[in-house]
Amino acid sequence: MDPTPPAGDRMRAVVSRSYGPPDRVEIEEIARPVPRAHEVLVRNRASVVTAAMVEARRGAAMARLYFGVTRPKWPVLGTNFAGTVEAVGGDVTRFAVGDRVTGVNVVGFAAHAEYVVAPEAGVIIRTPDRLSDIDAVAAFDGSVTALPFLRDRARIAPGQSILINGAAGAVGSAAVQLAKYYGARVTAVCSNANGEAVRALGADVVIDYAAEDFTDARDRYDVIFDAVGKSSFTRSRRALTRDGLFLATVPSPAILGWMAWTSRFGRRKAAIEFTGLAGQDEMAKNLVFLGALAESGALVPFIGRTDRMEDAALSHQYVESGHKRGSAVITFGHVVRQPAPR
């Protein structure tokens, strides 16, 4: 029998019970979850609002296929969380009350709340000492998406050239850092306002998209990673090397068609990774790897905005504007952006 929260055990959560604009996002008091035998209860301090969550809240056509055709199956959105273990199930051995943890809820979401339950064997690690809770959710926001694209699909290697379109976003800024970690030469495409910040993350060359179209330049790249879904294989292939690869993060009939075509014909390839459908074990291993990078300083957070949970609708507006810089963080309770003492 599933445990039932005792009467009075309540929490606040960011809830969206119908599809629509950002003002559909409200704060509600709901039942606080109770951990089962192999689960931990986390007092959540921070999460992020992602483009995918905005699409889910809006009720975009493709999102409805997963989140529910007429109304959301999961009114409490959010995947990334970071906080402190408040309670553990009877069979938990990896974590103890008081541990600082960060993770990703692969199934059921519900990270936009004051408390989160997560399976002990799920996508959860001890938070690196050098990261605050706010920094932790930001550091692993875009990186859990970027890593499978670059390491597994592109097999990025030292000396390769990669262009990252949308390099100032959550996924793009993580991709810049991961590509440098693997030894690639990185060209970053972003606004002029974000150029210096992206260069500080490791980009070798920065292109202002308002001043220059990278597809018209003479430079050729082994990999073009469109981290924001604003380019296409049709436009980008002329900027690829002879055996170059175009990676898309946003699914569309066009990219799926080109992926099928180029898998059989031609040398230049187009591909997409559905990272959200990866197995839990694979994602858990990736988070452990990314945690080690963050602890070493090779992966750092890039934050554009931080809001309290009461202002989550503003976070949704910010992400939906299309000009998001890095991660849009929301906090729960009293949070300071300060790592634990080392």
Read off the pLDDT band of 340 (50, 70, 90): very low
Q: Is the pLDDT of residue 1 over 50?
A: no
Q: Is the pLDDT of residue 326 over 80?
A: yes
Read off the pLDDT band of 334 (50, 70, 90): low
Q: Which CATH architecture has domain 10-127+302-331?
A: Alpha-Beta Complex (3.90)
Q: How far is CA 326 from the centre of its chain?
A: 10
Token code pair at residue 185: 């030469």
Q: If you average pLDDT over residues 175-204, what whole number do you get?
A: 98
- The residue length of the chain stands at 342
At residue 2, the pLDDT reads: 44
Q: Is the pLDDT of residue 8 over 70?
A: no
The ranges assigned to domains in the chain are: 10-127+302-331, 143-276
Percentage of the chain modeled with pLDDT above 70: 94
Could you tell me which residue, 183 or 68, shows the higher pLDDT? 183
Angle CA(136)–CA(27)–CA(301) in degrees, nearest 5? 15
Query: C-alpha distances in angstroms, 31 versus 5, 113, 152?
Result: 7, 11, 40
CATH topology for 143-276 is Rossmann fold (3.40.50)
Alpha-carbon torsion (240, 243, 244, 250), positive or negative: positive
Percentage of the chain modeled with pLDDT above 90: 82
Could you tell me which residue, 308 or 67, shows the higher pLDDT? 308
pTM, two decimal places: 0.92
DSSP summary character for residue 24: G
At residue 341, the pLDDT reads: 41
CB atoms within 10 A of CB 126: 16
Q: If you average pLDDT over residues 141-170, what whole number do you get?
A: 97
Could you tell me which residue, 217 or 225, shows the higher pLDDT? 225
Q: If you average pLDDT over residues 17-39, what whole number do you get?
A: 95
Q: Is the pLDDT of residue 192 over 90?
A: yes
At residue 336, the pLDDT reads: 52
At residue 109, the pLDDT reads: 87
Could you tell me which residue, 33 or 109, shows the higher pLDDT? 33
pLDDT tens-digit map of 41-84:
999 999 999 998 999 999 988 788 888 899 998 999 999 999 99
Query: Which residues, other chains included, contact 341 with Cβ-Cβ below 8 Å and sequence gap of 6+?
Result: none
Could you tell me which residue, 254 or 342, shows the higher pLDDT? 254
Read off the pLDDT band of 99 (50, 70, 90): very high
Q: If you average pLDDT over residues 216-233, what whole number do you get?
A: 94
Distance CA 257, CA 93 (A): 47
Distance CA 312, CA 335 (A): 15
Let me know: does 78 contact 296? Beta carbons within 8 Å: no
